[in-house]
Amino acid sequence: MAEFSGPFDGSPIATQSQWSGMAKRWGLDGVHALSESSNLLKVTASGTTTVAVAPGRASVNGFYYHNSSTKNLPVPPNTGGTARTDLVILRADPITAKQVTAVYKAGGASAPSLTQDDEGIYEVPLAQCTVAAGSSVVTAVSVLDRRWLTDRGALPSVPGARRPSIRNQLLVEGGKLFVGDGAGWRWLGSSGVEDSAYTPVWTAGTTTINWGSGSQNIGRYQAVGNRVDVTIQLIPSGNPPGYPDPIMVSLPPGLPATGQLRSLFQWNFTSNNGEGSATGVGYVATTESVTRISRLRYPATTSGGGPDAYNLLTNTPFNIRTDDVLTIDGSYWLA
């Protein structure tokens, strides 16, 4: 196949096939409408032998269609003994008719298939109609909306200068995605960090804890907007000393927690050395560091019988060593 590119001086878009091949890559086929509640090119019936196609615009395989006034299509009589399922379609015919037209397409026990030849007849649906046996009448309740809707893509926006809200329109501004509801722009999501892994750093005070050269020390995280989800799992292959300072562990690199509040995490410990298990809560001590979980606390009872919570240490209340499992899971807000 010979190469073609254009339009250039001396290499214009000279055929309808070239135009269609180019234009259909600008957007998807369908009715140009901003909402499913729009009546553009919507098909209706009122118990007569015709159905009505409302005004509207559409794209069909790269060709433009505009219906400027209501178009009535005759319903072929159903001479069979059972109900018939039909379609109202837009048909692009670059071979014979050289145009896009609204067409009533009769089916059978099921709706007729759409013809979609990239270089020939190409059809997209508008509605499905049911015609009773021995009838040529379509009632209002016998019409199902089957329009494919299409429109412009996401709009870029300058912060502080948004255009008025457009229903079902996407808008991108400063790495954030919004959708319009006609009254305002509703936040959908923000750019962040995809699912990633890191190696947590464990410390007790200023001392780095060595859990053993063969330990499984895994951190998984992802960030959406200003929210980070993180899971840390440790399975030691050694037995570190009994440090007097609380166990601390680093958060994902480059994603410090906000200093405005104490972010909370759940943790679970299971001993595979016969010492039982426990659960508790971890938190970011913002006065110490916003780049690590500074405390892993577990509930206990004081000597006087009252409730209290204590810090998890390398040897208290468990001697954390080979094959034990410590898991931390939670979310926090970014600084």
CB neighbours of residue 286 within 10 Å: 16
The more confidently predicted of residues 94 and 26 is 94
Average pLDDT over the chain, rounded to an integer: 94
pLDDT tens digit sequence for 63-72: 999 999 999 9
pLDDT tens digit sequence for 170-180: 999 988 999 99
Distances from the Cα of 4 to the Cα of 10, 18, 61, 119, angstroms: 12, 9, 19, 16
Q: Render the burial of 93-130: b for 16+ CB within 10 Å, e for the rest.
A: bbeeeeebebebbbbeeebbeeeeeeeebbbbbbbbbb
- Quote the pTM value: 0.66
pLDDT tens digit sequence for 259-298: 999 999 999 999 999 999 999 999 999 999 999 999 999 9
The whole-number pLDDT of residue 225 equals 87
Secondary structure (3-state) at 65 = strand
pLDDT tens digit sequence for 158-167: 988 999 998 8
The answer to whether 42 and 147 are in contact (CB under 8 A) is yes
User: Poorest-confidence range of 10-14, 146-150, 246-250, 287-291?
Assistant: 10-14
Average pLDDT over residues 148-154: 88
Residues composing the chain: 335
Q: Is the pLDDT of residue 192 over 80?
A: yes
Residue 305: which pLDDT band, with cuts at 50, 70 and 90? low
User: Would you say the C-alpha torsion 312, 313, 315, 316 has a positive or negative sign?
Assistant: negative
Q: Is the pLDDT of residue 44 over 70?
A: yes
Average pLDDT over residues 21-29: 87
- Give me the percent of the chain exceeding a pLDDT of 70: 99
Residue 215: which pLDDT band, with cuts at 50, 70 and 90? very high
